[in-house]
């Protein structure tokens, strides 16, 4: 769940790419009526991804945002929503990596169980 070394750096890059792919949502957020809520949701999700804070929740929000944009009738960039959703699913399945706030909060723990004697 929290790999070190090259896999951990790969997960940082995956989180960075997923946060950067939220950039087009900012323009469409300002054009819609509930734009302020959408704008701050995208900013908060991108920051959470960059820091690796509550990564499964942030990835879930990415999937919801991609779904909302995909069903928008005037959205010409549907081809960008599929990789966004797939990257979010991959990050949920792989975990945030060792270089994240999640690793510091919920990282490796050693449990020692007492003998039953």
Express each pLDDT in 76-88 by its tens digit.
567 778 888 889 9
b/e sequence 56-86, b meaning 16+ C-beta within 10 Å: eebbebbbebbeebeeeeeeeeeeebeebbe
Say what the pTM is: 0.76
For the stretch 16-61, pLDDT in tens is 999 988 887 776 666 666 667 778 888 899 999 999 899 999 999 9
pLDDT of residue 48: 93
Residue 95's closest CA among 15, 5, 6? 15
pLDDT of residue 51: 92
Q: Which helix (H) or strand (E) holds 46?
A: helix 35-51
pLDDT of residue 58: 92
Q: What backbone torsions phi and psi does residue 75 show, to the nearest 5 degrees?
A: -95, 110
Share above pLDDT 90 across residues of the chain, in percent, rounded to a whole number? 15
pLDDT at 74 over 90: no
């Amino acid at each position: 769940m929290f790999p070190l070394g090259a896999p951990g750096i790969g997960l940082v890059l995956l989180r960075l790419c997923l946060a950067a792919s939220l950039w087009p949502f900012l323009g469409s957020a300002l054009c819609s009526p509930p734009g302020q809520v959408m704008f701050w949701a995208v900013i908060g999700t991108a920051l959470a991804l960059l820091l690796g804070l509550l990564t499964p929740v942030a990835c879930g929000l990415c999937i919801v945002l991609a779904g909302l944009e995909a069903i928008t009738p005037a959205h010409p960039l549907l081809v960008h929503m599929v990789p966004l959703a797939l990257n979010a699913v991959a990050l949920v399945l792989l975990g945030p990596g060792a270089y994240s706030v999640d690793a510091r909060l919920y990282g490796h723990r050693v449990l020692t169980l007492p003998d039953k004697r």
